[in-house]
Structure 1
Amino acid sequence: MTESRWYHTSPPAKLNLFLELLARREDGFHELDTVMIAIDWRDELRLRRTTQPGVRLSVDWIPNRAAVANELQVSEDDELLFIPTDGKNLVVRVLNRLSETLGLEGGWEVQLNKNIPSGAGMGGASSDAASALQLGWEAACETHPEMPASSKRELLLPLAAEIGSDVPFFLGGASLLGAPKSTEGIQCARATGRGEKLEFFPLANPLHAVVLYPAASVSTAKVYSRCTVPDSPRSSDDLVLALQGMSAETTFSLHNTLEAPARGLSSRIDPALECLSKAGLTHCHMTGSGSACFALADSSQQAALAAKTLRSTFPGGALIRPVMSCVVPSEIHIA
């Protein structure tokens, strides 16, 4: 085989606007009802096919490790900045599985530049994996032009769900999921099952927010171990209708049932939520299993001003970013 060109894209993060537990499954996971939006807080990922077997992954931080450590007020070797480059990284796992599934010879060279913090509930690792799967498919098609395009959906979706519950969301696009052409450019999805059963829909209006990651990761497993399934779970039906502009209601409520147990595990979450509220923002919540928190803004201008205020008022290190909803998947470029 020959080496491919470089394929690159910008994996986005996500926010959970709604997250409810419906039941505990026999496989140890939970049945969920969650609503996710993609946001323009992005990593950078590029890869190519190589003749050398295996996955060679290099990782750095944007703009650099020292700058991110300074924002978080931690040392450059702090575990918050540690990103594995072996099989513990979902990018490595998904590319190995893609090679196995397609019977590919050779391997992969991958460069990952991180922006999205780990242990934040923002889906950074899952988004990176989804982007690696998409880029890997395109690169494999270049070096193995005999691969039928018709098998893309049948191969990639099961691999995505196998790697992680959030990975299928970041695959997004209508062409991959077999959705009508009119749904391309989606920004939002309702997910059920353990998060892999998706109903994509466009937002009636862009959402603006400020995200605050308070220099503290939270273990997803520990958060779920402290959860109990409510006797009467809430439904995201009303929120989905409101986000699509199909509800007469002008207001909507957000919800995250994981917030309470996560707050019991990290003392940094309550100050984050309090500061977001004091900055004049609304709908202050944690995303996913934490520890990142967010609040909605009326406009990009309000979000930018609130983020600037928070950087001077939040006690301790944090990554604070104004964001807005964006589409998935991200555009692929070839060099």
Structure 2
Amino acid sequence: MTDSPADNTWLTLPAPAKLNLFLHITGRRADGYHNLQTLFQFVDYGDELAFRVRTDNELSLTPEIEGVAAEDNLIIRAARLLQKTSDSPLGADIRLTKILPMGGGLGGGSSDAATTLLALNHLWKLGLSLDELAELGLSLGADVPVFVRGQAAFAEGVGEQLTPVPELDEPWYLIVCPQVHVNTGKIFQHEGLTRDTDPINIRTALRQGGRNDCQQVVTMLYPEVGNALNLLNKFSFAKMTGTGACIFSSFGSEKEALRVSDQLPAEYVAFVAKGSNLSMTHKVLFRPS
């Protein structure tokens, strides 16, 4: 494991993106949340966070994200929650290198929050288990627990009921990010969203996959996403991750994915990344000494 920076050094960790390989909405609950089924897999691409312990209980985050107050940022909220839960007298300086687009369906904010919980649990020597950290993370967002646990997983409920799926193929992905911010709440509240997909089990999910029930509504409300899907489908079957806006196709090799990426119009932001059944955060934080 990475050494604790008692000498005031920085601990730097990745905060990887995730893909929803499918996303089925199986019902709407009385509290307004939706029951879903999805298959999460990580990629070796994402944000980066650096942490340094403070002894004065203060938290700082740099740089500021335009339009997001510091105390509203999921990173600071995660750190405050951990302070409150553990009664830790310590604080932290946190530096964020933001790579993933906001509103892209790649889980960037949730991944940042999870990495913060994992890092500060380690640096503050709190000794909380992954189960305890995942439970804390759920109060920050439905996707946070999968990043805390760090394993590709079949998810149910609102996304918090996780069953590890370590046997997934780990292909290369081409991920295209239309320049539009999708409002997740707007998608889940839309009257046109399908909410009655029949539940499936893990075996069926692994055998036949599934679709993204949000995709039709998103492409109707955000034509940029539909245009990107139509373009990428000319090269390889494409689908949307989460509530969008990002879309992806899988390939057998990095070379093949890069070849398609090179053919996309210049206005498209795209990247190629390797699928991973273990989060890059866990690979760094829990690697053998």
Same fold, judged at TM 0.5 (above)? yes
Question: Which residue of structure 2 lines up, in the alignment, with residue 128 of structure 1?
Answer: 112
SS of residue paired to 1:133: helix
- Is the CA contact 2:24–2:38 (under 8 Å) kept in the aligned structure 1? yes
Matches of 1:329 and 1:156 in 2, distance apart? 17
Matches of 2:230 and 2:105 in 1, distance apart? 19
Amino acid in the other structure paired with 1:162: S
1:319 aligns with one of 246, 269, 282: 269
1:308 aligns with one of 259, 262, 270: 262
Matches of 1:322 and 1:154 in 2, distance apart? 32
Matches of 1:59 and 1:311 in 2, distance apart? 31
* Cα deviation, residue 233, structure 1: 2.5
- Is the CA contact 1:126–1:164 (under 8 Å) kept in the aligned structure 2? yes
Do structure 1's residue 332 and structure 2's residue 285 form an aligned pair?
A: yes
Question: Which residue of structure 2 lines up, in the alignment, with residue 202 of structure 1?
Answer: 166
* Cα deviation, residue 287, structure 1: 0.7
- Is the CA contact 1:214–1:291 (under 8 Å) kept in the aligned structure 2? yes
Matches of 2:260 and 2:221 in 1, distance apart? 27
Q: Tell me the TM-score normalized by structure 2.
A: 0.88
1:223 aligns with one of 187, 190, 202: 187
Question: Which residue of structure 2 lines up, in the alignment, with residue 161 of structure 1?
Answer: 138
Amino acid in the other structure paired with 2:160: E
Matches of 1:236 and 1:310 in 2, distance apart? 36
Deviations 1:209-231 (A, max 9, x none): 21110110110000111154444
Matches of 1:311 and 1:214 in 2, distance apart? 12
Matches of 2:67 and 2:260 in 1, distance apart? 30
- Evaluate the alpha carbon distance shift between residue 85 and residue 138 of structure 1 in structure 2; reply closer, same or farther with a 3 A threshold: farther
Question: Which residue of structure 2 lines up, in the alignment, with residue 241 of structure 1?
Answer: 206
* Cα deviation, residue 266, structure 1: 0.7
Matches of 1:234 and 1:268 in 2, distance apart? 30
SS of residue paired to 1:112: strand
- Is the CA contact 2:193–2:217 (under 8 Å) kept in the aligned structure 1? no
- Is the CA contact 2:25–2:196 (under 8 Å) kept in the aligned structure 1? no
- Evaluate the alpha carbon distance shift between residue 232 and residue 156 of structure 1 in structure 2; reply closer, same or farther with a 3 A threshold: closer
Structure 1 gap segments, 5+ residues each: 61-80, 142-146, 174-185, 243-251
- Evaluate the alpha carbon distance shift between residue 229 and residue 281 of structure 1 in structure 2; reply closer, same or farther with a 3 A threshold: closer
- Is the CA contact 2:193–2:213 (under 8 Å) kept in the aligned structure 1? no
Question: After superposition, where does 1:104-143 map in structure 2 within 5 Å?
Answer: 104-141=88-125
1:193 aligns with one of 139, 157, 166: 157
1:294 aligns with one of 237, 248, 254: 248
Matches of 1:155 and 1:102 in 2, distance apart? 11
Q: How many residues align?
A: 278
1:12 aligns with one of 7, 10, 16: 16
* Cα deviation, residue 329, structure 1: 5.1
Q: Tell me the TM-score normalized by structure 1.
A: 0.77
Matches of 1:53 and 1:214 in 2, distance apart? 40
Question: Which residue of structure 2 lines up, in the alignment, with residue 256 of structure 1?
Answer: 212
Matches of 1:93 and 1:164 in 2, distance apart? 11
Deviations 1:127-176 (A, max 9, x none): 010000000101101xxxxx4x3x42353121111111000101125xxx
RMSD: 2.3
Matches of 2:221 and 2:199 in 1, distance apart? 24
- Evaluate the alpha carbon distance shift between residue 13 and residue 276 of structure 1 in structure 2; reply closer, same or farther with a 3 A threshold: same
2:83 aligns with one of 99, 104, 110: 99
Matches of 1:302 and 1:152 in 2, distance apart? 40
* Cα deviation, residue 301, structure 1: 1.2
- Evaluate the alpha carbon distance shift between residue 212 and residue 82 of structure 1 in structure 2; reply closer, same or farther with a 3 A threshold: farther
SS of residue paired to 2:233: helix
Do structure 1's residue 276 and structure 2's residue 232 form an aligned pair?
A: yes
- Evaluate the alpha carbon distance shift between residue 3 and residue 140 of structure 1 in structure 2; reply closer, same or farther with a 3 A threshold: farther
Amino acid in the other structure paired with 2:259: L
- Is the CA contact 2:172–2:273 (under 8 Å) kept in the aligned structure 1? yes
- Evaluate the alpha carbon distance shift between residue 271 and residue 236 of structure 1 in structure 2; reply closer, same or farther with a 3 A threshold: farther
Matches of 1:24 and 1:218 in 2, distance apart? 21
